[in-house]
Amino acid sequence: MRQYPGNRIGLAVVGALLLLAGGYAWLRAKDRIPGLSPRARLLPDRTAAAAADNPWALWLLAFLMTVLALVALRWLLLSLGWGRRGARTGTGTAMLCIGLKDVDGLSHAAVRVVGDADRLRIGLSCPSSADVGAVVNKLDRDIVGRIRREIRDDEVGAVVRLHVRR
């Protein structure tokens, strides 16, 4: 299975841009930028005049920046795992992947133990070209039972979420 590093790269880029902007603001406030007064204007005269003539534009900009900050915060919290229930189990995930090794294009497979091992959450994602009936049949007959026995016992409830990509 290939893991997509998009979240990490995106967070790194956003974090680096924010770090650069914060460093610039700090250096400017401390008068550490040579040749630039700390009281120098940030905006050109035309832009400053346009902003003074249309005060609603600054409110719109502040609103958009707040929405952007909230979206970035949600993105960060989801990538850190907040909102997900349970703990991943590597043994269960390995057993799931081995049991479905003949399914081409399997991109996501995870097994989580929710609560005090009284429930399992199994999630996997496969392409639309895969034989979904055969995958479900394999999960029902073999794989879920083996994972239950390995993690806890046969009495553990299991919820399987199968996502078929287009």
| pLDDT 10s digits, 51-88 | 889 989 889 988 998 998 898 888 778 777 776 677 77
- 142 secondary structure, DSSP code: I
| Per-residue pLDDT tens digits for 89-112 | 888 888 888 888 888 778 888 888
Residue 134 has pLDDT above 60, yes or no: yes
Name the pLDDT band for 17 (thresholds 50, 70, 90): very high
Output the pLDDT for position 61. Answer: 87
> Averaged over 13-28, what is the pLDDT?
88
Name the pLDDT band for 117 (thresholds 50, 70, 90): low
To the nearest 10°, report the CA torsion of 31, 37, 39, 42: -100
Name the residue among 123, 150, 153 with its Cα closest to residue 139: 123
Residue 20 has pLDDT above 90, yes or no: yes
Instruction: Judge whether 150 and 122 are in contact, CB under 8 Å.
Output: no
Q: How far is residue 88 from each of residues 18, 96, 158, measured CA to CA in Å?
A: 32, 13, 14
Residues in the chain, total: 166
What is the chain's mean pLDDT, rounded?
Answer: 83
The angle formed by the CA atoms of residues 89, 91 and 97, to the nearest 5 degrees, is 105
Output the pLDDT for position 1. Answer: 42
Name the residue among 67, 56, 68, 61 with its Cα closest to residue 17: 68
Structural domains in the chain, CATH included, are 6-80 (no CATH), 87-165 (3.30.300.20)
Instruction: Judge whether 86 and 18 are in contact, CB under 8 Å.
Output: no
**What burial class does residue 70 get, using C-beta atoms within 10 Å of its C-beta: 0-12 exposed, 13-18 middle, 19+ buried?**
exposed
Cα-trace Rg, the chain:
26
Share of the chain above pLDDT 70, in %: 94
Whether the predicted model's global pTM rises above the 0.75 cut = no
- 141 secondary structure, DSSP code: I
Residue 4 has pLDDT above 70, yes or no: no
